Amino acid sequence: MDMTPYEHLGGEEVLTKMVTNFYHHVKQNEVLAPLFPDDLSETARKQIQFLTQFLGGPSLYTMEHGHPMLRARHMPFPITERHAKAWLECMGKAMDSVSLEGPLRDFITSRLTMTAYHMVNTSDDSHGKENNS
């Protein structure tokens, strides 16, 4: 019987540790921190639910919130390629924190890279001009 990426990762325990570390890095990141609320507990809970489902575990996110509709849920927030890159850097550090390596890391990174860049809804130029005025 084949294991899902979620099971290969180590399930809920390892995923929770990874997401906790991810949001620690997000709070420290000058590009991302302004996009997130001060209290990240609910954001982290939903991220754990989503990644559980995304990696082949139980459909926790859909059971509680319906279809993820990620792009639609992220549209209210200006997300640039710079944000996507920073998000992926934080996730890379989070994967380091749980010693995620090899083909599983490559697979997860590839899937998350596609997802992160799919969330981009604002050009870096227009966003930079807003912040520099």
Record the pTM. 0.88
Average pLDDT, stretch 24-47?
95
pLDDT single digits (tens) 37-95: 999 999 999 999 999 999 999 999 999 999 988 888 888 889 999 999 999 999 999 99
d(CA 27, CA 40): 9
Domains (ranges, CATH) in the chain?
Answer: 7-132 (1.10.490.10)
d(CA 65, CA 123): 29
Helices (H) and strands (E) in the chain, counts: 8, 0
Average per-residue pLDDT for the chain = 92
- pLDDT at residue number 124: 80
Distances from the Cα of 118 to the Cα of 57, 74, 94, 122, 126, angstroms: 22, 10, 21, 11, 18
Measured at the CA of 92, the angle between CA 32 and CA 103, to 5 degrees, comes to 150
**pLDDT higher than threshold 80 for residue 9:** yes
pLDDT band at 126; cut points 50, 70, 90: low
**pLDDT higher than threshold 50 for residue 129:** no
Of residues 30 and 133, more confidently modeled: 30
